Structure 1
Amino acid sequence: MAELHLHDTLTGTKRVFEPGNPERVTMYVCGPTVYSYAHIGNARPAVVFDVLFRALQRRFGADRVVYARNITDVEDKIIETMKATGASMKEITDKYADIYRADMDALGVSLPSIEPHATDHIGEMIAMIARLIEGGHAYVAEGHVLFSVKSFDDYGALSKRDLDDMMAGARVEVAPYKKDPTDFVLWKPAKDDEPGWDSPWGRGRPGWHIECSAMAEKHLGETIDIHGGGIDLTFPHHENEIAQSVCSHGGRPMARYWLHNGFLSMDSTKMSKSLGNVKLVHELIEHWPGEVLRYALLTGHYRAPLDWTDALLERSQKSLDRLYGVLRRIKAEPGNVPETVEAALDDDLNTPKALAALFALAGDANRAEGEADRAKAAGALLAGGQALGLLNESPDAWFGIDSLSEAERAEIDQLIADRAEARKAKDFAKADALRDELVARKIQVEDAPEGSTWRLG
């Protein structure tokens, strides 16, 4: 196979991917905080890194790739939801974790190899914090434990920020017990009516950043191959993860490659709950097939911004209709993933180029002569689509016509073929008559370069 190139945020360059150990390739991606429904922006990293997970499995072997995507099930927003609803933390987090998994499954996102929950790793977090204190990188103040940013010379290297800029993006307000305004919380005291765990520093709960450092260390090791997430996590979350992990591991790097996906905007406006323009995955899948949402997310390069619009969804639906139309006309089993698709993905997950390759494959299938060659070309299309997590449904189910008998489908296929022949012969009166007959049967026909597709109206 050709080399896989990935853009590393830390170095700002596209680099050949070389894992530390090809027998155990590791990837960690920051998962959801489960206090509410996920919006479509939350789905972008899930889909992007699912495509990478599949590519790594094909390259190194499915049993040699370990992908961890965490569940944050203790956090201030979860506690706010507890107080607002009266539900327990476990009731809230279990509910929304299940909904998240179901929503991502609808988008064709595979389950990760490991799905660690923060609350199952409190012991590991306490141990890491203790090492940081012992090494002079953290200190105790008024029941809190804080990381001393000035103890880590490379702080800011990932986000390319200097210390004066950092407070603007910090989650934690400046507090009088901090030695420096940029220091961040590793452990905080819990109020009597809040979830908490016993620790050497009193009853409390972990800070957000230490959770991922401890879970990545526990399941993937001190230095992992790939750490991914949304661009909004670069600072402060990933910057703080690096500081904690490097300082508790004797200076060893946390990750060899840092990957970040770009923002989603809504009709050219930043998606924001405060603006009321957030689109929930849970609601979108009531109106659109999950594959349409996935296809739409893949139309832009993962590092670039993507504008989410109804027009994008409509184009994505029509594009999938065209590809499924080819697979409906030419029955095939998936072959090997075509080189054109792999080459696009090897170039820093260039999914727009990979989608273009699918349409070239569809054209090859239509032009192929002989049943065997047509089936082989369609099999390449099917395999290329599945490498992207697409084309997983049966074509008849996709078009909603699997409820019709085989004879009914064959009869309608013949009417459409006769109409195509009439149009080719410029017998437009016959073509119009055939279309009228199809309309009377409540059949919607869509003409495309790859051929006509139809579904029940």
Structure 2
Amino acid sequence: MSTSAEPVKGKRVQPPWTPPGGTEVPQLHLYNSLTRAKERFVPQKGNRVSWYCCGPTVYDASHMGHARSYISFDILRRVLKDYFKYDVFYCMNITDIDDKIIRRARQNHLLDQYKEKQPQAAQILQDVLSAREPFQAALALTTDPDKKQMLERLDAGVMAALLPLQAAMQGKAAPAVVHPLAQLLLESSKDVLSDWLDQQFGSHVTENSIFSVLPSFWEGEYHKDMEALNVLPPDVLTRVSEYVPEIVEFVRQVVSNGFGYESSGSVYFDTVKFDSGPQHSYGKLVPEAVGDQKALQEGEGDLSISADRLSEKKSPNDFALWKASKPGEPSWDSPWGKGRPGWHIECSAMAGSVLGESMDIHGGGFDLRFPHHDNELAQSEAFFQNDYWVRYFLHTGHLTIAGCKMSKSLKNFITIKDALAKNTARQLRLAFLMHSWKDTLDYSSNTMESAVQYEKFLNEFFLNVKDILRAPSDITGQFEKWEAAETELNDSFSDRKCAVHAALCDNVDTRGAVEEMRLLVGMSNGYIAGRKGAKRRPNRMLVESIALYLTGMLKVFGAIEGSEPIGFPVGGQSQSADLESTVMPYLTVLSDFREGVRKIAREQKVTELLQLCDVVRDDTLPELGVRLEDHEGLPTVVKMVDKETLLKEKEEKKQMEAEKKKKKEEASRKKQEQEMAKLAKMKLPAGEMFRSDTDKYSKFDETGFPTHDVEGKELSKGQAKKLRKLFEAQEKLHSEYLQRSHHED
């Protein structure tokens, strides 16, 4: 008995089967700040991805800089989770103990106390003048141009309110005049005044609860903003105030391992000893910044920079793990006395507590690389005694406003609430999707207009597909014959899906992905238009597949929420598909009835009925979020669109028509003026056209043609020839005028 591998006598031997030589499928690569290169993404534990992200320092309203980072990380997280199907465990911190928070909380508390005393106008004026002296001294020493400009704006605002109050009080104005001016000065100078109060009385503020009210409020506002932006909440949220015992233990272990030292009640990290060991290296992310004292001092915090504090360190590059609390600062017990955590240690302790000795991804803003993240790496590797605390470091790019640097400390920022008042969360997200997550993004009217137009482009496609799918068809009618147009579109569909995948594998290049999606929509629109032009229905299953794919990708990106299978939700997130499926049958009946009325009205020439049909289309239904599109020779298209969008379109159309009418009237007026000017010119006999030009000519012949210039010189042949042409042309014009007048008579 022969086996299948043995040749059979009398038969040709078949060649062995070999697998096809297909192209290699791209694999996910991420830009790793540790290597400054795109690296193949390989989680440490199979499909499980551990991810820590630096969260906000909550002392003021969240702004578009926060949105830049957290929307970008939300997109990356969703792509890894919902597209690449990783099991992502996402941890984020809230910094609620920090120099900025301490200073702001103290200042707010002291300013509130000051206002509660209800000072008189004279007292407010005197205190503001006193507060301005150290403020102006600081202004004179400021060299940073952006900060100097900000301080000058503050001072100008104070002066604008101060001078009217001074004038009113010198003029002994009535209290009814003085009091509002005093309150205006108090409001305008709150930054200057609160800083002055803090310098005098800040050390007297000792109650820890004063320092928790401010961050608690702004954390709540931050979460509201993230929910409004459709940013997924973290799986674990850690607050510094809740991890002080873990932070103390973390610092104790770093000291025990020989990389930290106590000095005057504070504990510092020994960068020299850490960097000198064979296993470790300080400044992995930005080695060229090591020794940058300005950056290091900013990392330590405004309240922690003093000659005494600097003298406590073995090296200027050493940074605080634990800070001895000064009067006017919150404090917790520790082996080194009353104190509070350093800024960098909080993330190491919290991330270590939740994610252990090594995580797959650590994320944060580009400006956190040094010293914050470099210090995190050093102290965490010192604690865990390893050199792989973070495998992939991801840093989002800066955000600028119309090309200018944005900074909360410079009071040059747009809050998330302000941004959402101008554009929807989806439009903001689309703007971020249209740019690389790791590059600088400029938040401007042009950027947002591009996002709005992209949204509109996609939405019109979805609405058209929905209209195609609503056309009556039995089950067998769904399987329509494919021709060259369908095959061509399907091939393009396949190519675009591959291109989107390749883009997302390339460092989650959403900019490339959404551009491929734009191309797919453009091809689909061309196909649909071609089918309609040929009076043939587009293939339902093909356009539906494309619409489902695009909707799915937008859901992956977080640009669509809800269960609707195709397109953007109608009427807001809460209504979406349920609203459309409920009301569309009634709208179809109305559309069919209107179409019947229009047909009869056109045949019977009843213009009043046609006008009434137009009112339903242009005025009534847009108020209900319904757009009717009339196409000559084709059924009316019914689309459900957000009411606000339709009303905006209606207003824009009205403005365009008004502008068109204005241009038409302007053109008519100009034409009339030209006709009048031409007529006036025609009335003039040729013999009179030069006689009035006495500044040019001195003698004329019997027909009125000039022969000598103003100086009495005879005109040259060339001059005479040019003037003769004008003369003869005027003779012809005047002759036409006389003939026209004769006929009119």
TM-score (norm. length: structure 2): 0.54
Q: Which of residues 536, 541, 561 in structure 2 aligns to 1:392? A: 561
Aligned length: 437
Give the 3-state SS of the residue equivalent to 1:273 in structure 2: coil
Q: 1:345 to 1:57 in 2, by over 3 A?
A: same
- Residue 80 in 1 paired to residue 103 in 2? yes
- Residue 111 in 1 paired to residue 134 in 2? no
Indicate the structure with greater helix content. 2
Structure 1 stretches lacking a partner, 5+ long? 418-432
What is the CA-CA distance between 1:436 and the residue it aligns to? 8.9
Code of the aligned partner of 2:41: F
Equivalent residue number for residue 57 of structure 1: 81
- Is the contact made by 1:298 and 1:352 (CA closer than 8 Å) also made in structure 2? yes
- Is the contact made by 1:31 and 1:71 (CA closer than 8 Å) also made in structure 2? yes
Q: Which of residues 285, 291, 297 in structure 2 aligns to 1:170? A: 297
Code of the aligned partner of 2:447: L
Q: Which of residues 379, 385, 406 in structure 2 aligns to 1:250? A: 385
Equivalent residue number for residue 428 of structure 1: none
Equivalent residue number for residue 71 of structure 2: 47
Give the 3-state SS of the residue equivalent to 1:286 in structure 2: helix
Cα distance in 1, alignment partners of residues 443 and 83 from structure 2: 32
Q: Which of residues 144, 157, 174 in structure 1 aligns to 2:284? A: 157
- Residue 378 in 1 paired to residue 547 in 2? yes
Q: Deviations along 1:52-78, whole A, 9 cap, x unmatched? A: 21122236646x321111111111111
User: Which residues of 2 match residues 16-415 of structure 1 at below 5 A?
Assistant: 16-58=40-82, 61=85, 64-86=87-109, 88-153=210-275, 154-161=281-288, 163-171=290-298, 172=300, 173=305, 175-273=310-408, 275-331=410-466, 338-363=497-522, 365-366=524-525, 367=527, 369-392=538-561, 394-397=568-571, 406=584
Equivalent residue number for residue 425 of structure 1: none
What is the CA-CA distance between 1:238 and the residue it aligns to? 0.2
Q: 1:144 to 1:329 in 2, by over 3 A?
A: same
Q: 1:70 to 1:409 in 2, by over 3 A?
A: farther
Give the 3-state SS of the residue equivalent to 2:285 in structure 1: coil
Cα distance in 2, alignment partners of residues 446 and 41 from structure 1: 41
What is the CA-CA distance between 1:342 and the residue it aligns to? 3.3
What is the CA-CA distance between 1:200 and the residue it aligns to? 0.3
The percent of aligned pairs where both chains have the same amino acid is 33
Q: 1:344 to 1:32 in 2, by over 3 A?
A: same
- Is the contact made by 1:223 and 1:253 (CA closer than 8 Å) also made in structure 2? yes
Say which is worse superposed, 1-10 or 402-411, in terms of deviation. Answer: 402-411
Say which is worse superposed, 211-220 or 83-92, in terms of deviation. Answer: 83-92
Cα distance in 1, alignment partners of residues 396 and 590 from structure 2: 44
Q: 1:253 to 1:377 in 2, by over 3 A?
A: same
Cα distance in 1, alignment partners of residues 420 and 74 from structure 2: 19
- Residue 456 in 1 paired to residue 647 in 2? yes
Q: 1:273 to 1:163 in 2, by over 3 A?
A: closer
Cα distance in 1, alignment partners of residues 344 and 514 from structure 2: 36
Cα distance in 2, alignment partners of residues 60 and 391 from structure 1: 18
What is the CA-CA distance between 1:113 and the residue it aligns to? 1.3
Cα distance in 2, alignment partners of residues 413 and 182 from structure 1: 74
What is the CA-CA distance between 1:414 and the residue it aligns to? 8.6
Cα distance in 1, alignment partners of residues 465 and 392 from structure 2: 41
Give the 3-state SS of the residue equivalent to 2:95 in structure 1: coil
Cα distance in 2, alignment partners of residues 196 and 74 from structure 1: 10
Cα distance in 2, alignment partners of residues 380 and 365 from structure 1: 13
Cα distance in 2, alignment partners of residues 240 and 413 from structure 1: 66
Q: Deviations along 1:13-47, whole A, 9 cap, x unmatched? A: 11000111124311111011111111111111211
Cα distance in 2, alignment partners of residues 220 and 242 from structure 1: 14
Equivalent residue number for residue 424 of structure 1: none
Whichever of the two has the greater Rg, that structure is 2
Give the 3-state SS of the residue equivalent to 2:223 in structure 1: helix
Say which is worse superposed, 390-399 or 188-197, in terms of deviation. Answer: 390-399
- Is the contact made by 2:365 and 2:397 (CA closer than 8 Å) also made in structure 1? yes
What is the CA-CA distance between 1:381 and the residue it aligns to? 0.7
Q: Deviations along 1:167-191, whole A, 9 cap, x unmatched? A: 4453233611111111111111224
Cα distance in 1, alignment partners of residues 591 and 356 from structure 2: 56
- Is the contact made by 2:293 and 2:316 (CA closer than 8 Å) also made in structure 1? no
Let me know the Cα RMSD of the aligned residues.
Answer: 3.4
Structure of higher RCO (CA pairs closer than 8 Å, 6+ residues apart): 1
Cα distance in 2, alignment partners of residues 83 and 410 from structure 1: 63
Code of the aligned partner of 1:244: Q
What is the CA-CA distance between 1:243 and the residue it aligns to? 0.5
Structure 2 stretches lacking a partner, 5+ long? 1-24, 110-208, 276-280, 470-493, 529-537, 563-567, 596-610, 630-637, 649-745
